Structure 1
Amino acid sequence: MNIDVCNGDADGLCAVVQWRLHAPQPACLITGLKRDIGLLERVQAVAGDELLVCDVSLRRNRLALLRLLQAGVSVRYFDHHAPGDVPLHPLLQAHIDVAGDTCTSLLVDRYLGGRFRAWAVVGAFGDNLSAVADGLAADMGLSLEDRLRLQTLGEAINYNAYGDSEQDVLWAPARLYARLVRYPDPLAFLAHEPVAAELAARRQGDLQQAQGLAPHYQDAQVSVYVLPDAPWSRRVSGSLSNALARAQPRRALALLRATAGGGYVVSVRAPLSAPQGAAEFCRGFGGDGRAGAAGI
C-alpha cells in the first residue's frame, strides 16, 4: 500500500501533487490544516508499505517515524524544516534541506528534474518564496500574466490551510488535493476549476478585514500584531503574516491570534532581509518551524 503524508498548505500539497503525477499509483492521503503537525502518528502501516512524507517536521514526528521504520515500512521523506538528528536506516530516504531559499515543493522538483516545475512554482509562491518562484517561472518562459496567476493560486491554496478546524476553511485540504492532482499543469487547473477563484476571493475579503489593524508594538527591528479570535482571523493569519513580512522586509514579525481558551497562537517571521532564527526562537516557547518562518 502507498501512503502519502503532507502538510495541507500549498508547499505540502504541491509537493505530493508532483510526486503522484510522476508516480500515478493509488495512495491513501493523510493531511490536515497548517498546524496539524504530528501527522505520522496517524499512519497505520505494515511491512512492505511505502510512505511518502512531504513538508512535515521530522523533529516533531521522530518517534512515529522510528515506529514505522521498525515495522518494515519504506519511507521517502522530503522536508525543509530543521530535522534534528536524522535516523540512519536502510528503509529511509531523507531529502532534507533547511536553506532559507527552498521549500519542500522545490526539493521534490529537484529530485524529479523539473518534470512538473509549474506545480513547484505554485508551492514556492504559497510558501512566500516569491522571488525564487518568479525566477523559476520566468526561466520556464511563462508570461508575467501567467506568473501572477500562479502566484495567486499558490497564495490561495496556502490560505486555505489556516484554521482551527475544517469548518473554518472553504475546502478540506484532502478534498482540494483531489482536484489539484488531476492536472499536470496548474494553468489548466485554473482554467477548469472555479475553486481557485473562490479561494482567492475569500482570501482577499479576509485580508480587507485586517487592513485597519495597527501594530500592538513596533520599533526599528520588530513589529507585533494581535488578532481577535474569529473565523476570518483564523483563516487569514498566514496570508497576513506573509504580506506584512513583504511590506516590512527589514523587520522581524510576530502575529498573535487570541484563542477561546485565553492564550495565543503565534506566527513568527524573520526579516526577509535576514531570514534566520525564527525556528530557534519558537522552539524556546514549545513551537517549531524553519529558519524564516515558525510558530508557537
Structure 2
Amino acid sequence: MQYDIFNGDADGIISLVQLRLAEPKTAQLVTGVKRDIALLKQVNAVDGDGILVLDISMEKNIDALERILTSGAVVTYIDHHRTGSIPQSPNLTTHIDTAANTCTALIVDNLLSGRYRDWAIAAAYGDNMIAVADELVEARRLSTDDSAFLRELGTLVNYNGYGAEISDLHIAPAALFQALVQYESPFMLRDDESSPFYQLQAAYQQDMSNVASLTPSHADETLLVFTLPNEVWAKRVSGVLGNDLANTYPSRAIAILSHNADGSLMVSLRAPLSNRHGAGEICSKFETGGGREAAAGINALPVSDLPQFILAIKTYYQE
C-alpha cells in the first residue's frame, strides 16, 4: 500500500501534484484542513508499505512516525518545518530544509530538477514566499500576466485550506489535489473555464468582501493583532489575510485570531518580512503550537493566555 500524506494548503497539495505528475502512483490520500497536521496517526502501516509525507511537521508526528518505521514501512519525508530529533532508521529518507526562504514545494522542485517549476512557483506564492517566487518568475522569463496568474492560483489554493473542519472548505484538499494533478501545467487551469481555479476565485472574492470592515484588536510598531468574528468566512480568510497584512506591514509581526468551538483561539502568526524568524519558536512555547521560522500557529490558545502570547511576540521582536 502507498500512502501520500500531505498538508491541505498550497504547499502540501502542489508538492504532491509535482511528484505525482513525475511519478504517477495509486495511493491512499491522507490530508485535512491546514491546521490538521497530526496526520501520521491515521496510518496503520505494515511491512512493505510506502509512505510519502509532505509539508507536515515531524516534531508534531514523531510518535506516529516511529511506530510506522518500526512496522517496516519505508518513509520519504519532505518538509520545511521544525523537526525535533530525526529518527535514525534505514527505512527513513528525509529531504528537510527549515530555512525561512524555502517551502516544501521548492524542495520538491529541486529534487525534480525544475521539471514542474511553474507549479512550484504557484506554491511559493501561496506560502507567501513572494521574493523567492518573483526570482523564479524572472529566471523563467514569464510574462506579467503569467506571473500574476501563478500568484493568484497559489493564493486561492492556500485560501481553500483554512477552516475548522473539512466542511468549512470549498473543496476538500484530497479532491483538490485529484483535480489539479490532471493538469500538466498550471496554466491549463486558466484555459479551462470549468477548472477549480474559477470556482475558488469566485468564493475568495465573496469572502474577502467582508474583510474591509475589520480593525485590529491590538496595534503597535511591533505587532498587529486581528481578532476575527466567529464566522465560517472569517476562518477561511485567516491565512490570506495574515499574508496580505504581512506584505503591507513588513516590519511588524501579524497575528490573526479565530474562535474555536470550545472557546479557545486559533492563532496564525506571521513573522515580520524584515525579520523572517522566530514564529515557530514563539508558538511552540504554547501547547498545540508550532510551525516554521516565518509562519506558525497555535491550534487552541486559551483566552487567558493571550496577554502572555502578545508579550512573547513583543519581547522576541524588540530584542
Deviant stretches of 4+, over 4 Å? none
Mapped contact 1:288–1:294 kept (Cα < 8 A): yes
Cα distance in 2, alignment partners of residues 191 and 62 from structure 1: 42
Cα distance in 1, alignment partners of residues 254 and 68 from structure 2: 37
Mapped contact 1:233–1:257 kept (Cα < 8 A): yes
**Residue aligning to 1:275:** 276
Cα distance in 2, alignment partners of residues 191 and 166 from structure 1: 28
**Residue aligning to 2:156:** 156
Mapped contact 1:229–1:260 kept (Cα < 8 A): no
**Residue aligning to 1:132:** 132
Partner amino acid, structure 2, of 1:289: G
Mapped contact 2:5–2:31 kept (Cα < 8 A): yes
Equivalent pairs counted in the alignment come to 296
Mapped contact 2:189–2:196 kept (Cα < 8 A): no
Partner amino acid, structure 1, of 2:180: L
**Residue aligning to 2:306:** none
TM-score, normalised relative to structure 2: 0.91
**Residue aligning to 1:254:** 255
**Residue aligning to 2:291:** 289
**Residue aligning to 2:239:** 238
Partner amino acid, structure 2, of 1:227: L
**Residue aligning to 2:178:** 178
RMSD of Structure 2 on Structure 1 (CA)? 1.0
Describe the superposition over 1:200-244 as per-residue Cα deviations: whole angstroms up to 9, x where unpaired. Answer: 221122222011211111111111111111011011100111111
Following superposition of structure 1 onto structure 2, how do residues 37-76 of structure 1 map, counting pairs within 5 Å?
Answer: 37-76=37-76
Instruction: Give the SS at the match of 2:128.
Output: coil
Cα distance in 2, alignment partners of residues 263 and 276 from structure 1: 26
Partner amino acid, structure 2, of 1:34: K
Cα distance in 1, alignment partners of residues 94 and 37 from structure 2: 18
- Which consecutive residues of structure 1, in runs of 5 or more, have no partner in the other structure? none
Partner amino acid, structure 1, of 2:132: V
Which deviates more, 170-179 or 133-142?
Answer: 133-142
**Residue aligning to 2:302:** none
**Residue aligning to 2:222:** 221
Cα distance in 2, alignment partners of residues 109 and 234 from structure 1: 30
Describe the superposition over 1:67-120 as per-residue Cα deviations: whole angstroms up to 9, x where unpaired. Answer: 111111111100000101111111111111010000000000011111111111
Following superposition of structure 1 onto structure 2, how do residues 79-228 of structure 1 map, counting pairs within 5 Å?
Answer: 79-192=79-192, 193-228=194-229
User: What is the identity percentage for the equivalent residue pairs of Structure 1 and Structure 2?
Assistant: 46
Mapped contact 2:256–2:267 kept (Cα < 8 A): yes
